[in-house]
Amino acid sequence: METKFFIHSGDITTCKVDAIVNAANEGLMPGGGVCGAIYKAAGNQLYFETLTLGPCPTGEVRVSKAYKLPAKFVIHAVGPIYLEGKDGEDLLLIDCYRNTLEAAHKAQAKTIAFPAISTGIYNYPIREATEIALKTCSDYVKEYPDAFTEIYFICFKDEDLIVYDEIAHSLDMNIPVGVCKECLADVRKEDKMPDRELYECPECFHPHRLDELY
Ligand code: AR6
């Protein structure tokens, strides 16, 4: 079985996947950023459950139910706070992705969506973090090809989407930039129309702006 990777723009709380990943803190407390959005959308029961699961050291993960979210599980993954990059932040971020994948695999989640862990409030440079995210997931699915059917990287900011796309290409990962809203076909980087900021669907030929794709 082949695992399909997707890089999408949007809000992870709306993702209809088995597991969404929360960029959590060690206390497993509702914070800002994607964490705040997840707690708000899931409702109070998520807060009560995670009170019983913490603390969670950096690099480790905890699994909870997803309550009002469309997902089945939330995997709370604590990424490193980036200082100067000399305190093993890279190894901790690798651990964070790897432990998330192991926990999702163990919970039999077949589809999973990641935010760009640590790249907001925790200040990890987006390019380095993206390389770790994509490479760690790609390595995992090579090792366990039957673990996941779909892995999504959800970019909240359009500029992050461009970085994910560039790094995916530099790693030779052929990831679609989105899905056509008209016919649900995968749209890829090579479908970009020459000299235009539009992508032409390879199936129905509908032109889309990047932010119009699913
Ligand atoms: N969907 C997807 N991605 C999002 C969303 C969303 N709804 N909202 C923000 N992002 P951050 P961190 C992106 O700061 O750096 C919290 O307070 C955001 O643009 O949420 O790991 C926690 O409780 C960025 O690319 O997480 C911790 O205390 C990415 O999510 C601390 O922040 C991660 O940004 C964790 O900091």
pLDDT tens column, 116-158: 999 999 999 999 999 999 999 999 999 999 999 999 999 999 8
User: Regarding predicted confidence, which is higher, 1 or 50?
Assistant: 50
Over residues 28-53, mean pLDDT: 97
The candidate with the shortest Cα–Cα distance to 4, out of 167, 173, 190, is 173
- pLDDT > 90: what percent of the chain? 80
pLDDT, position 81: 98
pLDDT for residue 9 is more than 90 = no
pLDDT, position 1: 72
* Cis check: omega of the bond before 55, within 30 degrees of 0: yes
What CA–CA distances, in Å, run from 179 to 65, 114, 192, 202, 208? Answer: 28, 17, 13, 11, 10
Q: Which of 50, 83, 121 to mutate to test the pocket of ligand 1 (most atoms within 8 A of CB)?
A: 121
Counting atoms of ligand 1 from 1, which one is nearest the CA of 11?
1
pLDDT, position 179: 84
The candidate with the shortest Cα–Cα distance to 123, out of 84, 95, 150, 157, is 84
pLDDT for residue 197 is more than 90 = no
Rounded Cα gap, residues 164 and 94, in angstroms: 16
Rounded Cα gap, residues 25 and 100, in angstroms: 14
Q: Which of 156, 157, 162 to mutate to test the pocket of ligand 1 (most atoms within 8 A of CB)?
A: 156
pLDDT, position 181: 85
- Please report, as a single letter, which amino acid is at residue 91: L
Beta-carbon contacts of residue 134 (< 8 Å; ≥ 6 apart): 5, 153, 164, 167, 168, 171, 173
Rounded Cα gap, residues 28 and 18, in angstroms: 21
pLDDT, position 116: 98
Over residues 188-202, mean pLDDT: 89
With both helix axes pointing from N to C terminus, report the angle between 126-143 and 89-106 in degrees, rounded to the nearest 10: 40
- pLDDT > 70: what percent of the chain? 100
pLDDT, position 101: 98
